[in-house]
Structure 1
């Protein structure tokens, strides 16, 4: 039996720096910010996907119909009740759902909803490396050896992930000597662009034009 990897799609941010709900901003005729990376996640080899939100109801950026059977089969939408306290609480909510909703996965891949340039190939590459060496605690995308999301986190890290606080992300854990992993170099720096501010949004539009 192959490994099981669940996606955790982090979409519970409060958009304080943007001033408006950034994932709902229309970027082109087809998609809003939140829908870009989500489409890539849905096209990937991930078995299941947990979408972490900050309020009930399906988000308006979702590029799929509510009655889409593929969406219903693969995805669970959960609310991070303490999202305002920081990313760690959203990550914890996603991890809990990934473990409880289905049979516990061998790993999760954390994807940030505000990184519109990530690709399906990035996600599938993380899965492929973990398949070839499941003793790894993590496999991360990265630049010059610095880990950046999306990142695969094996079940061996789940306990430590639950202990994160505030705005601490998984990157803090990747620096600990007890965890062993790989960082896969991505040559295209555009892949890691995130959209946090109005200036970021304008930069994205120029890069995507």
Structure 2
């Protein structure tokens, strides 16, 4: 099974007031933590989708560390970045499954990404989602049967809706720290306490 990882990092971080991708936690930017997690995971392909503040963000990591592509339509919402990332994956070398992750969940590491892959292998389900705060969410793994539905998303629709529509083909992995994401300066302060 070939697995790809798509890191969505194209948002404007309007609530934070500066690019959250370059906010720091434990001496690393949030984006670098996400890149490290993706690079350390047992996957075949990785891609990072950038949008708002792309030039500023690109200065903070080694371009050679992960393939990165621009989303010129990032203001059309998260779905536009997901589609660009998936198109990139499909053009290259079709993965059998992809993991969608964001750059604002500081506790996502290779261990949880590998757990998604291992759980899929064991359970044979088409969707493996992380479970936290009485819901499911990213990082989330989708088998190729869902690529068409992912490509049909619009606006700020995330992949969660697809997962919820196919609960019979979904299994979850407990990831309580998945609820921690950074949207405001306060979130960052709480994290660094």
Q: TM-score, normalised by structure 1?
A: 0.84
2: CA distance, partners of 1:87 / 1:179: 25
Matched with 2:186 is 199
| Candidates 125, 129, 132, aligned match of 2:115 | 125
Matched with 2:150 is 161
- For the 8 Å contact 2:132–2:179, the answer to whether it is kept is no
State the Cα deviation string for residues 21-72 of structure 1 (Å, max 9, x = none).
Answer: 11112334x311211122111111011101000166572332xx44x5xx3x
Q: Secondary structure at the match of 1:160?
A: helix
| Candidates 22, 29, 32, aligned match of 1:32 | 29
Q: How many residues align?
A: 191
2: CA distance, partners of 1:133 / 1:185: 15
- For the 8 Å contact 1:140–1:182, the answer to whether it is kept is yes
In the superposition, relative to structure 1, how do residues 192 and 130 fare at CA in structure 2: closer, same or farther (>3 Å)?
same
Greater Rg over alpha carbons, structure: 1
**Structure 1 segment 27-176 matched on structure 2, within 5 A:** 27-28=25-26, 30-54=27-51, 59-62=58-61, 65-66=62-63, 68=64, 71=65, 75-100=66-91, 102-134=92-124, 136-143=125-132, 146-176=135-165
What stretches of structure 1 move > 3 A for 4+ residues in a row? 55-58
Q: TM-score, normalised by structure 2?
A: 0.90
In structure 1, the gaps of 5 or more residues are none
In structure 2, the gaps of 5 or more residues are none
Give how far 1:178 is off.
7.7
In the superposition, relative to structure 1, how do residues 110 and 80 fare at CA in structure 2: closer, same or farther (>3 Å)?
same
2: CA distance, partners of 1:10 / 1:32: 15
